[in-house]
Amino acid sequence: MKFATKAIHAGVEPDPTTGAIMTPIYQTSTYVQEAPGKHKGYEYARTQNPTRNALQAALAALENGKHGLCYASGLASIDAILKLFKPGDEIIATNDLYGGTYRIFTKIYSNFGLKFHFVPMQDMASVEKYINANTKMLWLETPTNPLMRLIDIQAAGTLAKKHNVLLAVDNTFATPYLQLPLEMGADIVMHSVTKYLGGHSDTVMGALIVNDDELAQRLAFIQNASGAVPGPQDCFLVLRGLKTLHVRMQRHCENGRAIAEYLAKHTKVDTVNYPGFSTHPAKNQMRDFGGMVSFTLKGDDWDEALRVMSSFHVFSLGESLGGVESLVTHPASMTHASIPKEERLQSGLKDTLIRLSVGIEDIEDLIADLQQAIG
């Protein structure tokens, strides 16, 4: 199937009982057994749920993977990955990444003996010097959050295989509509499903997609043993959201490009971070460039940045991204506040950086909102 067809049909079948075209919400904790150990494939809802199974199959299909696993949040899915490792193991991560990821790495798992290196990954050759006998995984986002830098997934995959370490890619910003990390050498693809896959700002969820059977079994064991699973209602909402992923993402891409081009010409705007402007070779791994844009204002004035963010009418000030509605976020005080200021500044994340999640509204309304807010 082509992507648009998979988005609507992959992983789901008509309900065998009624023929319902939409997957039912199996709102149950318990399944009745005919005899001890004799059941219909379902024992307990933390372990299996038909609605969740359908979503996991759909997500695997969209990423061209074999196994999908869903978790209660994006961070719960990262938590599951980190439970693959033991004290003394080391992980190399991009230095430009989501603040919640940095927080769980440094504030939770570093206390359990894992060691993390945060390094620039635009030149993958420079990453190799950080790899040693204890290195177990490379962790990257591309485009990065919030500076929209690109990382070459194929080069990272080659490096990971050379040293027999896992490669995990946070594909939240791009979604499988724009890039397919498993096909470029990734072992694990992670999503904050809360964002574009759900697409309507009405659910919180995470997901992992893998090809390796043994790795899938280990992650499924952690999923069940730790219990951070999503409920069937949330799974239903994401299944519904996936059916319009391709059309939503295309409009996000169109609007995102128009906003980036507008900001690049604005006399009060200093820098604009947008993957479509990149000259990095990894630009070729994406089919388009999404709806995420960040920018700074000339003068880098904190109060002026706050004034702009408080002046929007169509863009809503709030955390998160990827919904049909446009959002504006201040990473330094919101999504990336857990990263120490000196580390943020070192990676290029200024205090006055403004991040836009460009929605699917009419582009003329969005540009007019930017005009009146920035002045």
Catalytically active residues are 46, 98, 170, 195
8 A C-beta contact, residue 353 and residue 341:
no
Alpha-carbon distances, residue 29 vs 44, 79, 232 (angstroms): 6, 24, 10
Report the C-alpha gap between 99 and 106 in whole angstroms: 10
Residue 16 neighbours by CB under 8 Å, 6+ apart: none
Q: Which residue has the tokens 């993402």?
A: 249
